[in-house]
């Protein structure tokens, strides 16, 4: 009985308390957007001017989701610019056409603002990779992986497949990105095509998952992370940090370009 109580206490401390704190903080934020039609979508001033930058660029961003969803999770996307191209292309999943029963494609690969606010939410830069031919090759592989993503006609907010499922899939297909998605990227633990085991999104370790509801990641990049009902918590061993559901990363910062 005491052992069971300890388990329950740890679940409360690691999962329930952080989620409660995130909900309180989110609801107390009077500056968050209330109307998606008028919410900010302009540049946050993070990405370079593509017209003035000749080198190839890959950037990965995360921003809090719109309305109540932002208390718990983020939306992630990848912005790319091959050499000498004067605009960015965004790769992301947007469920509007799917969930509205329009029979559309959830995957969107289109010209866009690399670092745009996500319906009023300021984006955080997760990865920044620049260079010449090698980066161009990574960009081409990202395009190819997006084309064969197995859930193009599906979207479920929880536990997936959703926008974070897609970006985690791209990370596995192009492991050179070493993509470490935040614990708030709900859906990243949903393995495509019903798989039970796969490489971690960073490509540096292993991940097991039961339909995105229960699982584990063990990898040099992500550290050790446990998924319970779509919520993720764990420890990043270097730079040292705690990753908590709803709250995100607490600890030493990570350089986006490393």
Tens-digit pLDDT profile for residues 112-154: 999 999 999 999 999 999 998 999 999 999 999 999 999 999 9
Distances (CA, A) of 249 to 18, 81, 162, 254: 11, 28, 21, 10
Report pLDDT for 238. Answer: 87
Three-state secondary structure call for residue 4: helix
Three-state secondary structure call for residue 92: strand
Element (H, E) at 214: strand 214-219
- Tokens (6 digits) for 109: 């690969």
- Tokens (6 digits) for 13: 């401390």
Per the CB < 8 A criterion, the answer to whether 81 and 122 are in contact is no
pLDDT tier at 177, thresholds 50, 70, 90: very high
Report pLDDT for 93. Answer: 97
Report CA 40 to chain centroid distance, whole Å.
Answer: 20
Report pLDDT for 68. Answer: 82
What's the mean pLDDT in 88-104?
A: 82
- Tokens (6 digits) for 25: 């903080």
Report pLDDT for 2. Answer: 73
Tokens 């050179």 -> residue? 176
Report pLDDT for 74. Answer: 97
Cβ neighbours of residue 88 closer than 8 Å, sequence gap 6 or more? 47, 50, 57, 79, 80, 81, 111, 112, 113, 114
ω into residue 105 within 30 of 0, thus cis? Answer: no
Element (H, E) at 232: strand 231-237
Structure-model confidence comparison of residues 115 and 23, the more confident one:
115
ω into residue 159 within 30 of 0, thus cis? Answer: yes
Report pLDDT for 99. Answer: 67
Report pLDDT for 16. Answer: 86
Element (H, E) at 175: none
pLDDT tier at 82, thresholds 50, 70, 90: very high
Report pLDDT for 106. Answer: 94
What's the mean pLDDT in 155-160?
A: 93
Question: Where do the H-state alpha helices sit in 12-99?
Answer: 17-27, 96-99
Domain residue ranges of the chain, discontinuous segments joined by +: 32-251
Q: Give the tens place of pLDDT for each residue, 226-253.
A: 999 999 999 999 889 999 999 999 998 8
Structure-model confidence comparison of residues 22 and 84, the more confident one:
84
Three-state secondary structure call for residue 169: helix
What pTM value is reported for the model? 0.94
């Amino acid at each position: 009985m005491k052992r069971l109580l300890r388990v329950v206490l740890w679940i409360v401390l690691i999962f329930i308390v952080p989620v409660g704190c995130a909900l309180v903080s989110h609801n107390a934020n009077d500056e968050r957007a209330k109307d998606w039609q008028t919410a900010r979508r302009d540049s946050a001033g993070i990405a370079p001017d593509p017209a003035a930058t000749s080198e190839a660029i890959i950037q990965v961003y995360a921003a809090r989701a719109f309305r109540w969803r932002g208390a718990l999770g983020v939306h992630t996307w990848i912005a790319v610019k091959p050499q000498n191209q004067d605009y960015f292309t965004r790769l992301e999943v947007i469920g509007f056409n799917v969930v509205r029963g329009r029979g559309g494609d959830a995957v969107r690969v289109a010209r866009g603002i690399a670092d745009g606010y996500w319906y009023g939410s300021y984006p955080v830069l997760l990865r920044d990779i620049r260079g010449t031919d090698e980066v161009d090759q990574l960009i081409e592989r990202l395009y190819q992986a997006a084309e064969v993503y197995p859930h193009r006609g599906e979207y479920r907010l929880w536990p997936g497949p959703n926008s974070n499922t897609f970006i985690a899939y791209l990370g596995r297909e192009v492991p050179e990105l070493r993509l470490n998605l935040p614990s708030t990227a709900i859906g990243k633990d949903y393995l495509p095509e019903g798989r039970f085991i796969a490489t971690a999104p960073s490509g540096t370790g292993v991940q097991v998952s039961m339909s995105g509801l229960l699982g584990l990641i063990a990898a040099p990049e992500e550290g050790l992370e446990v998924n319970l009902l779509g919520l993720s918590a764990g420890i990043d061993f270097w730079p040292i940090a705690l990753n908590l559901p709803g709250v995100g990363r607490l600890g030493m910062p990570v350089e986006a370009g490393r």
